[in-house]
Structure 1
Amino acid sequence: MSTPDSPSPLSADDIAAITGNLDEVADRARAAAESSGRSGDDVRVLLATKTQPAEKIRVALEHGFTLIGENKVQEITGKAEALADLNPETHLIGPLQRNKVNHTLRHAQCIQSVDNLPLAEKINNRLDVLDETVDYFIQVNTSREDSKFGVAPEDAEELITATRELGRMRLRGLMTIGLPGSSPEEIRPSYSDLRELSEKLRESGVMPAEATELSMGMSGDFELAIAEGATMVRVGSSIFGARDYS
């Protein structure tokens, strides 16, 4: 693993490929936002860096993309030192086990995968000890797939009401993982349902008016998610290439 003072092991072609992909994704995200009547600045690209080495992530950060998301706590802690000098905004976007809360709070500024009250209480209790705060999203299972984490849409109001009583946590919005359909008609409802839920909960005062963020959409469908109101899209393979699980 390289350090800030050592040359990157990546070739010039590798670096050019990553930066070119970054520019393409940013252009597509901006165009999708403008097509939906919003400013391109209304949508942020989160670098989904699961299994990606710190060297590749460093290229993206140095190219001006400051927001990264990891699926596993081990990867957050494993890459933190190598990227510390670039001070990325780090989000946990995968499920969080309660016994990993301490490690997460050392390095993550936001937890996007809060989907039950015991987890939220564990996070808040640890923050009391640390005298710190953290941002969070409520993860909603809008596709209603048994294989996915997230609170059921009809149970989101109760969970949000309870978590807002926890003084160390700041709610930024809602997150979902879309249905892996083969057509926009199949995929779209899981995103439009999250937008409609967000609007309903803010209008009723269950969520604060400023909790407008919608984290939804990935490499294969982020433009569709933006059309349905995404403010943050989680893009990895379109930038870094296929993940290495070896």
Structure 2
Amino acid sequence: MSSIADNIGSVTRRIQKATLQAGRGAGSVRLLAVSKTRSADDLRAAIAAGQKAFGENYLQEALDKIDALADEADIDWHFIGPIQSNKTRQIAAGFSWVHSVDRLKIARRLSEQRAPALGPLNICLQVNINEEDSKAGCGLDELPDLVAAIGELPNLSLRGLMAIPDPDQPEADLRLSFRKLARTLHELKAQHPDAGPLDTLSMGMSGDLELAIAEGATWVRVGTDVFGPRPPKS
């Protein structure tokens, strides 16, 4: 059985190869280890292998791990799950990135509840890129107004866009989904140059990270290929 360190090495080599093949600069794509349902000990093994950025979907589980790993230096916590209004205060206080902002109400709450001493909270807007009824995220037509409004909020840094395209669609369609998100980010940056850095595309997972990198991903979110198969629900 491969160790978590071996898995991280394998995924890192995949990222490096895909980055090179895309003609992009070394280090332009970062690995976000999706650690939902994983134990603090699993995360310690990943940290020992050099991984510092972890993505969590469930707030209480994440807060427990943040407390358990408080002795580890320079951990970069990312919230990537659905956000309920009553959870924004803890997210604003405990994380450095939020990838799943999909409406202005949530952005306003994060802005109001982020302590200035912590520095700006990096946020990505989650986009329902394939307009699926079952998927979270804002529509493409909503983005310009949302970007303009969020650009006026303090204590936030609007970094870019996140999407979870349907992984079961044909590869050509999946590539087009990634390309559409990248094109949308480019257009938003041109339309709203003062809204934030708008330098981030959070897209691509274990099975499709090469396609995502070819189309411009800067964060790839990988869980299974880092930690192994997810344990069964108790």
The one of 113, 121, 143 equivalent to 1:156 is 143
Q: Note if 1:35 corresponds to 2:24.
A: no
Whole-angstrom distance in 1 between the partners of 2:6 and 2:128: 33
Q: Could you say if the C-alpha distance between residues 54 and 118 of structure 1 is closer, same or farther in structure 2, counting changes exceeding 3 Å?
A: same
Range with greater deviation from structure 2 (205-214 or 56-65): 205-214
**Amino acid corresponding to residue 87 of structure 2 in structure 1:** K
What do you get for the CA RMSD once the two structures are aligned? 1.8
Q: Note if 1:105 corresponds to 2:92.
A: yes
- Aligned to 1:76, the other structure's residue is in SS state helix
Give 2:224's aligned residue: 237
Structure with max Cα Rg: 1
Taking only the aligned residue pairs, the percentage that are identical comes to 37
Q: Could you say if the C-alpha distance between residues 182 and 133 of structure 1 is closer, same or farther in structure 2, counting changes exceeding 3 Å?
A: closer
Q: Note if 1:62 corresponds to 2:52.
A: no
Q: After TM superposition, give the deviation of residue 84 of structure 1 in Å.
A: 1.6
TM-score, length of structure 2 as denominator length: 0.93
Alignment of 1:65-84 (within 5 A): 65-84=51-70
Alignment of 1:85-96 (within 5 A): 85-87=71-73, 88-96=75-83
Whole-angstrom distance in 1 between the partners of 2:48 and 2:98: 24
**Amino acid corresponding to residue 193 of structure 1 in structure 2:** K
Residue pair 2:147, 2:195 contacting (<8 A) in 1 also: no
- Aligned to 1:149, the other structure's residue is in SS state coil
- Aligned to 1:41, the other structure's residue is in SS state coil
Give 2:102's aligned residue: 115
Give 2:38's aligned residue: 52
Give 1:9's aligned residue: none
Q: Deviations over 1:212-243 (max 9, x none)?
A: 11000111111111011000000000111111
Residue pair 1:157, 1:206 contacting (<8 A) in 2 also: no
Give 2:126's aligned residue: 139
Q: After TM superposition, give the deviation of residue 182 of structure 1 in Å.
A: 4.7
Residue pair 1:161, 1:206 contacting (<8 A) in 2 also: no
Whole-angstrom distance in 2 between the partners of 1:99 and 1:59: 32
**Amino acid corresponding to residue 54 of structure 1 in structure 2:** A
Whole-angstrom distance in 1 between the partners of 2:86 and 2:100: 15
Q: Could you say if the C-alpha distance between residues 228 and 58 of structure 1 is closer, same or farther in structure 2, counting changes exceeding 3 Å?
A: same
- Aligned to 1:85, the other structure's residue is in SS state coil
Give 2:205's aligned residue: 218
Q: Deviations over 1:41-72 (max 9, x none)?
A: 10000000010111111111111111100011
Whole-angstrom distance in 2 between the partners of 1:151 and 1:167: 21
Residue pair 1:45, 1:232 contacting (<8 A) in 2 also: yes
Q: After TM superposition, give the deviation of residue 183 of structure 1 in Å.
A: 3.0
Residue pair 1:76, 1:104 contacting (<8 A) in 2 also: no
- Aligned to 2:148, the other structure's residue is in SS state helix
Whole-angstrom distance in 2 between the partners of 1:60 and 1:222: 19
In the alignment of these two chains, the number of paired residues is: 232
**Amino acid corresponding to residue 139 of structure 2 in structure 1:** A
The one of 10, 25, 32 equivalent to 2:11 is 25
Q: Deviations over 1:152-211 (max 9, x none)?
A: 011111111111111111111111112222531131122111000001111223565732
Q: Please list every run of 5 or more consecutive structure 1 residues that lacks an aligned counterpart in the other structure.
A: 1-12
- Aligned to 1:40, the other structure's residue is in SS state coil
**Amino acid corresponding to residue 37 of structure 1 in structure 2:** G
Give 2:215's aligned residue: 228
